[in-house]
Structure 1
Amino acid sequence: MADDLDNANHATLDVAALTEAQARAELARLAELLDGANTAYHTEDAPVMSDADYDALKRRNMAIEARFPELKRSDSPSEQVGAKPADGFGKITHSRPLMSLGNLFNDQDLYKWVDSIKKYLNLPSDEQLAFVVDPKIDGLSVTLRYENGTLKYAATRGDRFVGEDITQNVRTMPDIPTRISTNLSHLEIRGEVFMAWKDFIQLNERQKELGEKIFANPRNAAAGSLRQLDARITAKRKLSFFGYAIEDASEEIASTQFELIQFISRIGFKTISLTKLCWEPEEILKHYYFILESRATLGYDIDGVVYKVDNLELQRRLGFRSTTPRWAIAHKFPAELAWTRLEAIDIQVGRTGALSPVARLTPVTVGGVVVSNATLHNEDYIKGLDSKGEEIRGGKDIRVGDWVQVYRAGDVIPKVADVDLARRKSDALPYAFPTTCPECGSDAIREEGDAVRRCTGGLICPAQAVEKLKHLVSRGAFDIEGLGAKQVEQFYKDGWVKEPADIFELKAKFGPGNLLQLKNREGWGEKSSLNLFDAIDARRDIPLARLIFGLGIRHVGESSANLLATHYGNWENFEAAMKSATVGTGAEWDDLLSIDGVGEVMATSVITTFHQEAERASIDRLVAHLRPIEAEKPQNDSPVSGKTVVFTGTLEKMTRAEAKARAEALGAKVSGSVSAKTDLVVAGPGAGSKEKKARELGIELLDEDGWLALIGDA
């Protein structure tokens, strides 16, 4: 969490003032931070940041991409939805990707969104459009597939392509019928599983009596209850369901979204109350504020309002961006506020050595959730300064003992918004941020231009070492069954595992004939010990992308590791290139930067890791135990797959947005500028400087008809 908190501060930087190098660095940090937040929220049911913080960081990422389109990463957070399905469940591939929604945050954004829809559809600005407006349930997105009226399966959204099979659990829910009356051969209904407030309170009362886990909020309770491997546990917990969309059907059901909702209700499902058909932004906003005022009376949590174009034919024309529909959007509610006392400031040390301050609060209920800690980001934030040294909160610093205002929007870790100086004690002292690591005593250095102070101890720092080991065994990396965060911490404490290679030497230390020391530990028996050794052995054959991700190199997330693996193919090529590369110059450096999605910050981090003697030796010791599996090259028969395309000038047979969407659907990357990396320029009338530059660089040029002929029916 510490790295998440330190990175959150970058959202305060001014996008307009960023240089290209700074923009690359910001996009790398945001990709890593938001990927971790997605996993924590969607897979682990344990959010590490508020909805408001997450939304702010995602908006910042999009703003940087808008200003520097050529820097957009292939693992961009704007292309991500949800998280990978958790282990332990069967997997179900969705008949079509389950998209998430984009967000609006103020009234003016709504007017812009409606205008953008009319512009995309080439409609007059004064033409009226109908929209379905309904509350946004704060629950778990689920799809239900019925075949000939019988429930075939139920699945979570997962990563939008593959979800978790929760069929048996869903069968225990009274709100979801196992049979419906319909003549359709197949029907997929999408909706939200949630827990009403009265049921949430009763559940926590029972949990407390039994001495079991207390849930932080209804959303976490619903997710934790639905995603039980034992359906009998789900059956004991009261879950509710609202249906709100049809994902797939064997034949056309209706011509409007509102009619679809009425159909869902007719066949036996509950639908969302306060749903209304509205015309134009003024009426939409009126209903938005009515829902906001009614929020406390609904009996369940909502975190905004959803707007959908009512006409289904217009929905089809509008289509989808990479992860969100153009025809629907969520208008989020403002964050909620509360005042409480700051009891202490703790420093947490993350995997990359970042020192992150966390506020320990007198527990307070914020929007119905009891919270007891908050992010303080970094030392400047505590002083009342932003990254440029300019005042925030009116220049008020934060001191232990202060009364602070905190806000949240659906999480357990809020943010400090303000300080009440009138209630500050006269003997309260300014907070002195540590200059040494609280875990290992090494110097904690803040490099010029960096908002974060970092421990220099590396692997001698227990906090960094343990976090690196936890990362190595995480789902996206080695994913060793039976060896999770808890076991890693214990093995480190016992001195058995100090670095990654030690994991693959456990069998030699404690295997058959010498098993007594491990099997006599609490939680371990002979069978579980032998199962652990087998699980470790199974990971000696490890896909290259998982290996690279597992190394825990700063700025290299799961998607970035896939990019590197695909480019270099095998470990020998990757290792040789990184060992011989020089930061900022040379063929290896240029080759690394040629990978779409790899910028200078990531490239520098990877090369530096392989040039640090201790890190390189640790990697060599690990790889000596492994047989890395070569990466498969992606297969795509589209004529423009993998090519970088630039559209310029006026397109007459489709809008620019439609052309871009079509190209990306065929596997092309659409760039806003022409460079030596550009493969194809589609030039319409008025192309100007981009066409000229393409000719100068000898890049293939096509007109709109040529482009359409090239892609054909692909």
Structure 2
Amino acid sequence: MNVKEQIEALRKELREHNYNYYVLDNATISDYDFDIKLKELQVLEEKHPEFYDTSSPTLRVGGEVTKNFATIVHENRMYSLDNSYSKEDLEDWEKRIQRVLGGVEVQFTCELKYDGASISLTYEDGKLKQAVTRGDGFQGDEATTNVKTIKSVPLQLKGDYPPKFEIRGEIVLPFEGFKKMNEERIAAGEDPYMNPRNTASGSLKLQDSAVVAQRPLDCLLYGIVGENTGVTSQFQMLEKARDWGFKVPTIAKLCKTTTEVMEFVEYWDIHRHDLPYETDGVVIKVNSLRYQEELGYTSKSPRWAMAYKFKAEQVSTVLNEITYQVGRTGAITPVANLEPVLLAGTTVKRASLHNADQIEKLDIRERDTVFVEKGGEIIPKIIKVDLEKRPQDSVPTKYITHCPECHEELFRTEGDAKHYCVNYYGCPPQITGRIQHYISRKAMDIEGLGGETVELLFKEGLITNYADLYTLTKEDVLPLERMAEKSAENLIAGVATSVKIPFERVMFALGIRFVGETVAKKLAKAYKNIDALMAATVEELILVDEIGQRIAESVVEFFQNEKNVEIVNRLKEYGVQFEISADKLLNQTEKLKGQTFVVSGVFETVSRNDLKKMIEDNGGKVGSSISSKTSFLVAGDKMGPSKLAKAEKLGISIISEQDFIEKVS
């Protein structure tokens, strides 16, 4: 046996042992013998670097240092899930599904919802190519080096896997491993980690992969994404992924009714405490991938999936004080400052009180004993007051009348739940809040600049708005607290690089009230440049798809303010992108303006995602379901029968992939 054959044989054997131990939980070799063979492979690979392989088991020990985690745009967006908390919620969801699918028999796959750090793994030719964290769903951090150290993540697949696909899952830290890590930390005189989920998530951002390799992380997979994967249902997908070498939880059930779904939920709500991992609910998915495709997505989540959250944990504690926060739009949020209490593995010191109406409704007062719940929300909330423990000298809460920061009188418009400070340019939290929004990841994504640094820059009088960021020099920022030379250089470089951010994200970054990411894209596409948008009237803006009266008035009001116009003009001078790039405009037409297309099925010439992009690039709108407003149904192979039937019933024009391509050619 020559050296190459020797290396390949060792790799194959070690992969199999890894799979048996970490995926099947069935060791076929002692730890000692495994380590001896791994060392033998390491020595051979070091002597013969010409046989380097990105999927070698030796890469699992880590050692590579990652200074900066590259931001990667997801090829397929990672959506969040809608939550449900009752059987009625599920039944309502099922009715919505039936309305779209036309009353066909639908089966559901139920899986446990593991509480970890979401990850997307890309495989090409059976090898792990890339691992990216969820991030904001549109883009995340590349964590390939760290993920390669997780023993249950296959570096080389087996079986009849597709040539290229993504698979989604959760990086988790089992209770046993978490307990052992904390015992070691306490023995070393260090503070214990708070909970497995945050520790797992934090591990992916460690710079030294050798440290990650020492942590007992696990990876549970549940969803394949991509075209031509050879699977037709969610349940089959789970089975196939197991065959290819992935660690896919075996706790999954195919259900025909919501009654069966609830039986699964109720069983695991009780027995989840026997599991080795954190779980916080059950994910229910329409089993048929064809039906999933027909149902499509909302702007935030798939219509074909629902997360049923287990009953939230509640604790009682004392509300010491009510304070008030000012947001970047001037909205006032009351906050309950609590006696610290452990809730769902995290120490909770604060809870949102939402608004004056909520305080009045629950009659929440300082020094009350309150019940706090985390539930499906990240920020804990107070759900009720223990009136039996209320102090005798307790007095009702009087909501503040003036801003806690700048002391201007607060306003509340009719029909609005929030109070507002209208001192737009003089209230410090509003000023820094707008700048923090401007630099945020979904907006200008300025590296080297965080919220604390913004606060410091403002406090030192170096910035009063986001245009001032472009006047900063290294000499300006070096004297700041905890600012080293390299950090100062990164900050200045990050600001300079931000001028390349495209117009639609700049629109979002401006922080116009009610203009979120989707609205910003619509406005940028409709007006092409900032000057045309600034000149638009309320009546003209309302004509833009999905722009209503409230948004239109907010946009006009923003650009009627002279200070806002001055800031925009300064940003233009600094090179910020205020028009759609020439390259992008080159591929855009108005050929399909006013027409709505629904895309369904499998296509030969272009992918479904490319078809949707072509529709939008040519001024059309992509619909998710057939309605009287649909202009055309672009029908591919294996298209859902209910969509076809509904289109025929409504008299919608049904065209082929080739027909569509001819339309835009």
Q: Bin the TM-score by the shorter chain.
A: 0.7 to 0.9
Aligned-pair CA distance for 1:122: 5.2
Residues of 1 paired with 2:197 and 2:107: CA distance?
Answer: 31
Q: Does 1:460 align with 2:414?
A: no
**Deviation digits for residues 319-359 of structure 1, max 9, x if unmatched?**
63356555543323233222111111111111111121000
Aligned-pair CA distance for 1:608: 1.5
Alpha-carbon distance change, 109 to 618 in structure 1, aligned in 2, over 3 angstroms:
closer
Do the aligned residues in 2 keep the contact of 1:548 with 1:561 (CA within 8 Å)?
Answer: yes
The residue aligned with 2:410 is 444
Question: 1:628 aligns to what SS in structure 2?
Answer: coil
The correspondence for 1:356, drawn from 328, 333, 351, is: 333
The residue aligned with 1:107 is 87
The correspondence for 2:443, drawn from 474, 477, 494, is: 477
Alpha-carbon distance change, 543 to 206 in structure 1, aligned in 2, over 3 angstroms:
farther
Deviates more, 1:418-427 or 1:106-115: 106-115
**Deviation digits for residues 18-68 of structure 1, max 9, x if unmatched?**
xxxxxxxxxxxxxxxxxxxxxxxxxxxxxxxxxxxxxxxxxxxxxxxxxxx
Do the aligned residues in 1 keep the contact of 2:162 with 2:228 (CA within 8 Å)?
Answer: yes
Q: How does 1:355-374 map to 2 (within 5 A)?
A: 355-374=332-351
The residue aligned with 1:433 is 399
User: What amino acid does structure 2 have at the position aligned with 1:499?
Assistant: N
The residue aligned with 2:143 is 166
What TM-score comes out, normalization by structure 2 length? 0.73
Figure out how many residues of one structure are paired with residues of the other and give that number.
561
Alpha-carbon distance change, 236 to 443 in structure 1, aligned in 2, over 3 angstroms:
farther
Q: Does 1:231 align with 2:209?
A: yes
Residues of 1 paired with 2:447 and 2:132: CA distance?
Answer: 23
Aligned-pair CA distance for 1:708: 3.6
Residues of 2 paired with 1:347 and 1:522: CA distance?
Answer: 27
Question: 2:131 aligns to what SS in structure 1?
Answer: strand
Q: Does 1:382 align with 2:359?
A: yes
Higher relative contact order (CA 8 A, sep 6+): 1
Residues of 2 paired with 1:206 and 1:592: CA distance?
Answer: 61
Alpha-carbon distance change, 112 to 566 in structure 1, aligned in 2, over 3 angstroms:
closer
Do the aligned residues in 2 keep the contact of 1:196 with 1:301 (CA within 8 Å)?
Answer: yes
**Deviation digits for residues 497-545 of structure 1, max 9, x if unmatched?**
22333322323xxx6xxx3x64344433445444544443444566433
Q: Does 1:339 align with 2:290?
A: no
Do the aligned residues in 2 keep the contact of 1:347 with 1:355 (CA within 8 Å)?
Answer: yes
The residue aligned with 2:636 is none
Alpha-carbon distance change, 449 to 205 in structure 1, aligned in 2, over 3 angstroms:
farther
Residues of 1 paired with 2:501 and 2:107: CA distance?
Answer: 52
The residue aligned with 1:503 is 469
Aligned-pair CA distance for 1:416: 0.9
**Structure 2 stretches lacking a partner, 5+ long:** 1-66, 599-610, 634-647
**Deviation digits for residues 153-172 of structure 1, max 9, x if unmatched?**
32334565655432211111
Do the aligned residues in 2 keep the contact of 1:305 with 1:331 (CA within 8 Å)?
Answer: yes
Q: Does 1:137 align with 2:114?
A: yes
Q: How does 1:50-69 map to 2 (within 5 A)?
A: none
The residue aligned with 2:170 is 192
The correspondence for 2:384, drawn from 418, 430, 436, is: 418
Q: How does 1:6-405 map to 2 (within 5 A)?
A: 88-90=68-70, 96-114=76-94, 130-158=107-135, 162-184=139-161, 186=163, 188=165, 189-203=167-181, 217-248=195-226, 252=230, 257-310=234-287, 315=291, 318=294, 320-322=296-298, 327-384=304-361, 396-405=362-371
**Structure 1 stretches lacking a partner, 5+ long:** 1-86, 385-395, 579-587, 648-661, 683-700
The residue aligned with 2:511 is 552
User: What amino acid does structure 1 have at the position aligned with 2:151?
Assistant: P
The residue aligned with 2:532 is 573
Do the aligned residues in 2 keep the contact of 1:370 with 1:412 (CA within 8 Å)?
Answer: no
Residues of 2 paired with 1:407 and 1:463: CA distance?
Answer: 28
Identity %: 35
Do the aligned residues in 2 keep the contact of 1:680 with 1:702 (CA within 8 Å)?
Answer: no
Q: Does 1:704 align with 2:620?
A: no
What TM-score comes out, normalization by structure 1 length? 0.69
Alpha-carbon distance change, 531 to 249 in structure 1, aligned in 2, over 3 angstroms:
closer
User: What amino acid does structure 2 have at the position aligned with 1:596?
Assistant: D
Aligned-pair CA distance for 1:398: 0.6
Do the aligned residues in 2 keep the contact of 1:216 with 1:412 (CA within 8 Å)?
Answer: no
Residues of 2 paired with 1:277 and 1:605: CA distance?
Answer: 48
CA RMSD of aligned residues (A): 3.9
The residue aligned with 2:594 is 643
Alpha-carbon distance change, 173 to 645 in structure 1, aligned in 2, over 3 angstroms:
closer
Alpha-carbon distance change, 634 to 286 in structure 1, aligned in 2, over 3 angstroms:
farther
Q: How does 1:642-661 map to 2 (within 5 A)?
A: 642-645=593-596
Aligned-pair CA distance for 1:305: 1.3
